[in-house]
Structure 1
Amino acid sequence: MTTTAPLTTRTDPLAITDMAGEAQAALLERFPPREPAASWPATTQSCDEILSRISVPPRGRDGYHKWGARRRGTAAILTWLENFPGSTWQERWQASPAQDLDPDEWKSTGKSWTDRHGRPVPSAERADLASGMLLLLARDVIRPELPWLARMRPSVHLRKAVIENRDPDGFAKLAALLGEEVWASTTSATAQNQIIRIMIAKGGRLADLTVGDCLELRLIEHKVRHKGAVHTHFYSWLRQLGIFPGDAPVSLRLRNLRPGQLTPEQLVDRFRLRCQPVRDLIVDYLKERQPSVDYSTLQNLSRALAHNFWADLERHHPGIDSIALPPDVAAGWKERFRTITSHKRQPDGTVIETTKPRISYISTLMLIRAFYLDIAQWAAEDPARWGLWAVRCPISSEETRTVKHEKQQQSRSRRRTRERLPVLPTLVDFVATRLREARMRLDALQQAKPGAEFTVLDETFIKPKTSAARVAQLTRVAWDSQGRRRNLTQDEHRAFWAWAAVEFLRHTGVRIEEMLETSHHSITQYKLPSTGEVVPLLQIAPSKTDEERALLVTPELADVLSAIVWRVRDRTGALPLVSSFDDRERIWNPPLPLLFQWESAGRRWPVSPANIRKALNEALAAIGLIDENGKPLRFQPHDFRRIFVTDAIANGMPPHIAQIICGHKDINTTMGYNSVYPNDAFEAHRAFIARRRAMRPAEEYRTPTSEEWDQFLGHFEKRKLSVGICGRAFATQCIHEHACIRCSLLRPEPAQRHRLIEIRDNLVARIIEAEQEGWLGEIEGLQISLTGAEGKIAQLDAQEARRNMTVDLGIPAFPDSDQ
């Protein structure tokens, strides 16, 4: 009897990629957070000792009013906490209802507080309670839990108080590491608030923070706050400070989207299959294939088998429990999977449903067919394990033929290349102009005074009045004439990387992953053994074909590389080490001085493929180019690779050299990238004729004289004979001395067959006469002529037989039909 696994026992697909998923649980197991301490010196002090530590500023100073509020608030909170059991203030705080209430709601209940004798607590105003809580947290008297602190509204006064009372030297080192520009930014304020939350909840100094503490804060922030408001700069800064071990995670950024490699069980359980035996079969199959394939292939295989195939069958055939599919079930699945349906909501609220062929249809059929065939083969080797599942494959070999699919794909690729190649110069000029204009706007913004109006490129902007405006580099935004907030720094950032990507891709023809993995170590040089000249080279790291190759750096590419290196250098002049995430293998690469990296609030990140595509699309949208369907034209990074091959071969590069430069294993792949235009074929043919003419003597191509032309026309007249036409070439002599009946170049005409018979009969009579008279020398010559005449007659008979021959074309006949 087949068992069906309940949905509730399956791992939630969101839990696998969420911070609370198994990958994050494993990370927390490696780096556990610190356990909260039961007691520490500050929390055991008496109320009078705590109040006595509050220094009294001179009367009339700015801090005098704050001292009074903090003293009143601290006394009110401690008086209220004395109502709850415990030997320390931390135990009383935990016994109070404060941590069960929202931080703002807890402050609002201050007017109803009483002491242990039931008397109202004096001066329990909201502002005083906020000041008192600030002091208790800064002096480490109580340590609220992280969820309560995460809900508390951040305060600049709390941040300053914790820094001054807890670890001023540690924060000074962190500020020096990041620099004044980053430390004064709003991003820095958010990161500092996250750090002080951990210090308040766990205690200790900055150097006492652990990786587990940061992970725990991230988990809590995801639960109590909006995910988009969670930042991870604080972790990167602490890691740069050197307080974490060497095997600590590179970053906590997007850990929910990049949890690392999943096990076969986790890959299958994402799709919540109901049939337990089939689920286990797919898991076992993936485990068997796992040693011989990379992780990306394993992930695609799990999606094809579990999601595209079996989950669809369970959805349309509830209770199905065998991979031995009836013909109608298999045909229904193929028909459903052949197309993909999309729904698009219109401005008026209506939904338009469109159906188009699925591009991955053939490739998915091949994976499923391989699944059935592999099980059948393994069943012969291990019947106990696989014999139960060895059934007939529902997909035939004819259904997985890729000839037509490959031709259609090649046609789409070439049409796409032919459509984008003519507009490449426009794109190149635009991205260069856009970068130059973006830099002019940013320079004008940084030179303007706070609150001043400035004009650049016929556009008027207003520089905002902010506290960060005292440092020119900190001002990133401006207000345009229409009142819109423009981030000019971000505009320049995207304009630069759009320009760098376009120039790098069109001059190298590399894949996007190869471009983003290019590091400073990839720029090398080579000394020619013949001349001793040193030429620059660019080493391309192995990617798709696992083969490293070197490209010659042209002067244009050298300018691009120089601009990128100059941009990404740090204050020491070196390229920082950055760890990139391999989206295919789901692993973090070792730190490298990558060329495509950018800085964000004191931390370095590799430029992602999504950023490159977004920058390209923004540039194309600004140009306003459209495709043949009237839709906005889009460039994919791989389009530059096809354009590179097409342009290189069109300009004379041998295809096998283009194959080596592109790193293709098969030259047919390279030629598939070559989108040849029809006029290119005509021009190539004309160039071939011109080269052939240049190799032949020039006198052969002179204009013939009238006598030569008449002689040429007379040649064809002389070729006419009584029994046919002579086929010898112009200006050649007759090799048989006009004994045409013997010549193989004679083409007899069917109308002159009677003449050939008369010649044959005459030759027979002459041979008989020569034999009678004993003319032996005459007999040999007549015999050769007789053989030639009989051969010409046989040639005419064969032609006539072919004309009269009936050929069965296999057309069916209908003898019983009335028509």
Structure 2
Amino acid sequence: MASGRRDDQLLVAVQALYLDIARWAAEEPARWGPWAAPRPIKEAEVSNRKRVKRRKARMYRRTRERLPVLETFVRAAADHHGQQSARFQALLAVPPGATFTVSDAVFVRTKNATTAAARDEQGTLRHFGQAEHRAFWAWAAVEFLRHTGARIEEMLEISHHAMNRLPTTGEIVPLLQIAPSKTDQERVVLVSPELADVQATIVRRVRDPRTGAIPLLSAYDYEERVWNPPSPLLFRWDRGGERSRMSGEFIRSALGEILAFIGLTDFTGQPLVFAPHDFRRLFITDAIRSGLPPHIAQVIAGHANINTTMGYNAIYPDETIEAHRAFIARRRSPRPAEEYRTPTDAEWEDFLGHFERRKLSVGTCARAYGTACVHEHACVRCSFLRPDPAQRGRLVELRDNLVDRITEAEGEGWLGEIEGFRVSLAGAQSKIIQIDTSSPSGPVNLGLPQRKHP
């Protein structure tokens, strides 16, 4: 790849030399006229169009390779942090110099009580504190990037004050304020329940245990070459007692440790590397594939041009996209151009209002934006209902009531109602099982994943 770029640069330099000689020959014919000659390089050979197409094709292929294994990589990030956290907690539970065992591996803690390190059976020193720290921030970065589609520089500038709530209610849907970065335009995106849990976990980790507040931190902006005012940045680390903003190199290195932990490979057998910007492409691709209008995705991603958003959408081959655009161009007259404009305040309020109406008495409706209710609001039967653990008692009462109604219907011979009651009963029982499975009353031993070797 690098050799191809060098060849292109050489062709451009040779073409420029011939053009310069031709211009000099026009100014000084006696001196430069004998050296003037038609340039031997065609315009198509130095055109940037082919390189742009090849780069887009590589980007599309990269996104298509990583989208099917995204959930696997996310689970690996959580498992990797769980393993490192278990080792770190086991180390802290023993005094300096003591021996402890984690997953059939024997370690001896160092005698220095201030160092969270231990030696394995081969005598290799393992810094469990640093390993847990890196694994946690790798997991936090993966969750934040995949739920927001933000750029890495935007993620590193997220502060505690950037977390707001929906202006219409102030309580139901939290919003995330993303500071200007590439396009110098501030934007606000919705915070899903999963992202809210991740942010709360990060806040608990960086909060000062004495004051309960997040310490202010000044960070240097390498793009603007200025020092930003002190703010409660979330992505930070402690380097030898000095607090500083986390760097992009640290995040990329931590993501590489997740890849080494799970051992993902592509079809050629090479490691399937996940870069921070891959999660942005995957977020936009999955959003449009799930039915989100492209002009809404443009606002969420912070793109100034919708063509940039569609360039990140790696669902169809290039030929299909071009054919679809030609089809749209032919229908410009009967089809209004409002689909390709910035959404109005009313459209944006309707989009936000959908998330306000998802709150139900026994949980939350996960129905996608712009889709109708397929069960006519019979929520207990619907697979989109995400039950609230606090409403388990209400679901138990509903289940018992359905059992009594089935008994009454069988006694009265109401055969037409029995089947409907049984469907509702099966739905109520499945929701109760879902709550019990996702919210266990006691500790559950999940075990440790086995590392796969390529």
TM-score relative to the length of structure 2: 0.61
- Could you tell me how far 1:624 is from its partner in structure 2? 1.0
**Residue in structure 2 matched with residue 551 of structure 1 by the alignment:** 189
Aligned pair 1:422/2:61, yes or no?
A: no
Per-residue Cα deviation, 1:242-269 (whole angstroms, up to 9, x for no partner)? xxxxxxxxxxxxxxxxxxxxxxxxxxxx
Where does residue 507 of structure 1 map in the other structure?
A: 147
CA distance in 1, matches of 2:220, 2:163: 22
Residues 11 and 46, structure 2, Cα contact 8 Å, conserved in 1: no
Distance 1:646 1:478, change over 3 A: same
- Secondary structure, counterpart of 1:618 in structure 2: helix
Counterpart in 2 of 1:661? 300
- Give, as a single letter, the amino acid of the residue that structure 1 aligns with 2:276: P
Query: Higher Cα Rg: structure 1 or 2?
Result: 1
Query: Of 627, 630, 652, which aligns to 2:291?
Result: 652
Amino acid at match of 1:419: E
How far off its partner does 1:633 sit? Answer: 1.6
Match of 1:495 in 2: 135
Choose which of 198, 212, 216 in structure 2 pairs with 1:560: 198
| 1: CA distance, partners of 2:79 / 2:233 | 26
- How far residue 501 of structure 1 moved from its aligned partner, in angstroms, is 0.5
Paired residues for 1:375-524 under 5 Å: 401-466=47-112, 469=113, 474-524=114-164
Q: Which of 238, 241, 248 in structure 2 is aligned with 1:599?
A: 238
Give the equivalent residue in structure 1 for 2:178.
540
Larger RCO of the pair (alpha carbons < 8 Å, separation 6+):
2
Change (3 A) 1:658 1:400: farther
Tell me the number of residue pairs that the alignment of Structure 1 and Structure 2 aligns: 300
Residue deviations 1:778-803 (CA, integer Å, cap 9, x gap):
xxxxxxxxxxxxxxxxxxxxxxxxxx
Provide the C-alpha distance between the structure 1 equivalents of 2:195 and 2:11, rounded to a whole number of angstroms.
40
1:546 and 1:365 mapped to 2: Cα distance?
Answer: 33
1:477 partner letter: A
Q: Which residue of 1 aligns with 2:382?
A: none
Q: Is the 8 A contact 1:518 1:595 kept in 2?
A: yes
Q: Aligned-pair distance for 1:553?
A: 0.6
Query: Shift in Å at residue 360 of structure 1?
Result: 10
Q: Counterparts of 2:11 and 2:225 in 1: how far apart (Å)?
A: 22
Which amino acid is 2:200 matched to?
Answer: S
Q: Distance in 1 between matches of 2:12 and 2:175?
A: 43
Matching of residues 90-489 of structure 1 within 5 Å: 340=2, 356-358=3-5, 361=8, 401-466=47-112, 469=113, 474-489=114-129
Q: Cα distance, 1:532 vs. partner? A: 6.9
Report deviation, 1:595: 0.8
2:323 pairs with 1:676: no
Contact kept in structure 2, 1:527 and 1:535, CA below 8 Å: no
Displacement after TM superposition at 1:419 (Å)? 0.7
Offset at 1:586? Answer: 3.5
- Work out the CA distance in 1 between the residues paired with 2:11 and 2:107: 54
Q: 1:521–1:362: structure 2 CA closer, same or farther, 3 Å change rule? A: farther
- What are the superposed Cα offsets for residues 672-703 of structure 1, whole Å, 9 maximum, x if unpaired? 1111157xx8xxx9xxxxxxxxxxxxxxxxxx
- Within 2, Cα distance between the matches of 1:465 and 1:405? 58
Q: Deviations over 1:534-585 (max 9, x none)?
A: 4211111111111111010110110111111111112322112222222334
Cα distance change of structure 1 residues 657 and 485 upon mapping to structure 2, 3 Å threshold: same
The verdict on how the C-alpha distance between 1:584 and 1:360 changes in structure 2, with shifts beyond 3 A counting, is: farther
- Cα distance, 1:459 vs. partner? 1.9
| Closer, same or farther: CA 592–363 of 1 in aligned 2, 3 Å | farther
Question: Distance in 2 between the 1:514 and 1:600 partners?
Answer: 22
Residues 111-130 of structure 1 deviation map (CA, whole Å, 9 limit, x = unaligned): xxxxxxxxxxxxxxxxxxxx
Find 1:617's aligned residue among 256, 261, 265: 256
Secondary structure at the residue paired with 2:173? Answer: strand
Secondary structure of the 1:358 match is helix
Bigger drift between 426-435 and 573-582 goes to: 573-582
In the alignment, the residues of structure 2 paired with residue 421 and residue 434 of structure 1 have an alpha-carbon distance, to the nearest angstrom, of 20
Report the Cα distance in structure 1 between the residues aligned to 2:7 and 2:219, rounded to whole angstroms: 29
Alpha-carbon distance, 1:455 to partner: 1.1
Q: Please, which of 265, 282, 288 is the counterpart of residue 643 of structure 1?
A: 282
Report if the CA contact (8 A) 2:165-2:171 is conserved: no
- Aligned equivalents of 1:484, 1:624: Cα separation in 2: 23
The amino acid that maps onto 2:314 is: S
Q: Is the 8 A contact 2:8 2:46 kept in 1?
A: no
Q: What TM-score does the superposition give when structure 1 sets the normalisation length? A: 0.34
> What per-residue deviation string (whole Å, max 9, x for no partner) do you get for residues 193-237 of structure 1?
xxxxxxxxxxxxxxxxxxxxxxxxxxxxxxxxxxxxxxxxxxxxx
Aligned-pair Cα RMSD in Å = 3.1
- Offset from partner CA, 1:380-407 (integer Å, 9 cap, x none): xxxxxxxxxxxx9x99865653332221
How far apart, CA to CA, are the structure 2 residues paired with 1:413 and 1:552? 27
Are the equivalent residues in 2 in contact too, given 1:527–1:534 (CA < 8 A)?
A: no
The amino acid of 1:485's aligned partner reads L
Give the AA of the match of 2:238.
Answer: E
Q: Which residue of 2 aligns with 1:631?
A: 270
Q: Measure, in 2, the Cα distance between the counterparts of 1:480 and 1:576.
A: 36
Over 3 Å counting, the alpha-carbon distance change for 1:533 and 1:579 in structure 2 is closer
Within 5 Å, which residues of 2 pair with 1:581-596?
581-596=220-235
Contact 1:462 1:478 in 2 (8 A): yes
Q: In structure 2, how many angstroms separate the alpha carbons of the residues matched to 1:506 and 1:491?
A: 23
